[in-house]
Amino acid sequence: MKKIELVTTVDLEARLRPCLERRYMPDCFLYLGPAGVASWLELSNSQEFPVATRLTHLLRYSIPFLVQHVAAWSDVVSVGVGSGEKERLLLEALGDKCINAYYAVDISSDMVEKALDTVAHLDVDKAGVVAFLEDLPQIRRLWKTPVVLCLLGNTFCNYEPEDILTKVRSVLTPADLFLFDCNLLGARSNGEEQAKQAVEQVYRSRQNVSFNLGPLVERGLRPDDCDFHLDLVEADTSAGTLRRTSKSIQILRDTDVWCGDSAVRLAAGDIIQLGFTYKYTRAQVECYLERHGFRSLEMHASPSGDNLLALVRGASV
């Protein structure tokens, strides 16, 4: 198994400092290093934060319907692969269809190695790629058509919808498939307000707060010297009003956090903005797909209506 680094750990550490100086910490930094990997694996298996587990259940249910659309000798590429458990399920189901190659892509080098270990027992050519989703044009040079491009584990919802669908469309041919999942703003018997409260409860859970503080704590911030804030706010878009998480860390006491061999001073009262996650309705996801020319092959929702898995055909460019 080989690993290709389009982004190195040194590159990422260099990017973190200017972000913190602007009081911004993108979510990609949450997954870095052994501590970030361990924290994510603990969170993804937590009952307090069941998003990853429920999406895995939905994929396991849907796989018999998905595999019938995959052409023989396809490549499988998963961006934001995490531990690679979902991809293992897919590759095992596709085993008799002669997969050509598998590429595990993540911004965390340690996570890429974990994902490759997860499928080490499978007799398929495999490689790891350390890269951002924004590096899709470079990653595209590695795979062969037809490809199944995967964004699993709610990765799709962590980007602006117009931007991510434009990027995906630009690298796919009509022979290719795009597989992704979403944790939705699900239906609730008491309406949208109850659904909003359910999302906030999950994202404010103790383990999720610890995960989001992790990179700063590892670099010198004491958990007692900050507060984590999360709200589910409205975002007006071309598909109507969406809900989107707004995460931030408020610094309570002056402190230094270390990036490499130099410190960034954070002052009491500073607000560090974190990444976001969109919470779509199913109708909004379908609206975006239609606008970008994708044709749905399979779309499966969990019984609760909280999760969606979609397999769509790559549109012509």
Cα end-to-end distance, the chain, whole Å: 33
Note the pTM of the prediction, 2 decimals.
0.94
Query: Is 95 inside a domain boundary?
Result: yes
Query: Is 243 inside a domain boundary?
Result: no
Whole-number Å distance between alpha carbons of 153 and 157? 9
| Distances 244 to 100, 109, 195, 232, 238 between C-alpha atoms, Å | 38, 28, 13, 5, 15
pLDDT per residue over 21-35, tens digit each?
999 999 999 998 899
Q: What is the pLDDT of residue 315?
A: 57
Query: Is 156 inside a domain boundary?
Result: yes
For residue 47, count CB atoms less than 10 angstroms from its CB and return exposed for 0-12, middle for 13-18, buried for 19 or more: exposed
Query: Is 123 inside a domain boundary?
Result: yes
Q: What is the pLDDT of residue 195?
A: 77
CA nearest to 202, candidates 182, 225, 232:
232
Q: What is the pairing mode between strands 278-279 and 240-251?
A: antiparallel
For residue 201, count CB atoms less than 10 angstroms from its CB and return exposed for 0-12, middle for 13-18, buried for 19 or more: exposed
Sign of CA dihedral 263, 33, 171, 137: positive
What's 155's domain CATH number?
3.40.50.150
CA nearest to 310, candidates 183, 192, 203:
183
Could you tell me where the DSSP H helices lie in 135-224? 136-140, 161-171, 192-203, 206-218
Domain of residue 170 covers 51-187+281-313
Neighbour tally for 306: CB within 10 Å: 23
Residue 38: enclosing H or E segment and its boundaries?
helix 33-44
β-strand partners of 221: none
Cα–chain center distance at 214: 17
Residue 33: enclosing H or E segment and its boundaries?
helix 33-44
Query: Is 120 inside a domain boundary?
Result: yes
Number of domains in the chain: 1
Query: What are the φ/ψ torsions at residue 105 (nearest 5 degrees)?
Result: -115, 130
Neighbour tally for 314: CB within 10 Å: 23
| Distances 238 to 22, 227, 289 between C-alpha atoms, Å | 29, 34, 12
Query: Is 182 inside a domain boundary?
Result: yes
The alpha-carbon radius of gyration of the chain (Å, integer) is 19
Whole-number Å distance between alpha carbons of 226 and 176? 46
CA nearest to 81, candidates 117, 50, 35, 45:
117
Query: Is 199 inside a domain boundary?
Result: no
Q: What is the pLDDT of residue 191?
A: 61
Query: Is 146 inside a domain boundary?
Result: yes
Query: What are the φ/ψ torsions at residue 85 (nearest 5 degrees)?
Result: -70, -45
CA nearest to 117, candidates 37, 22, 203, 221:
37
pLDDT per residue over 154-200, tens digit each?
999 999 999 999 999 999 999 999 999 999 986 544 567 787 888 88
β-strand partners of 240: 237
Residues 6+ apart with CB under 8 A from 242: 234, 235, 236, 278, 279, 280, 284
Omega of the bond prior to 50 within 30 degrees of 0, cis?
no
The token duo for 81 is 């692969």
Q: What is the pLDDT along the chain (317 residues), one digit of tens a residue?
A: 689 999 998 888 889 999 999 999 999 999 988 999 999 999 999 999 999 999 999 999 999 999 999 999 999 999 999 999 999 999 999 988 889 999 999 999 999 999 999 999 999 999 999 999 999 999 999 999 999 999 999 999 999 999 999 999 999 999 999 999 999 986 544 567 787 888 889 999 999 999 999 999 999 999 999 999 999 998 888 888 889 999 999 999 999 999 888 899 999 999 999 999 999 999 999 999 999 999 999 999 998 889 999 999 975 54
| Distances 93 to 41, 87, 97, 98 between C-alpha atoms, Å | 24, 10, 9, 11
The token duo for 181 is 């999942």
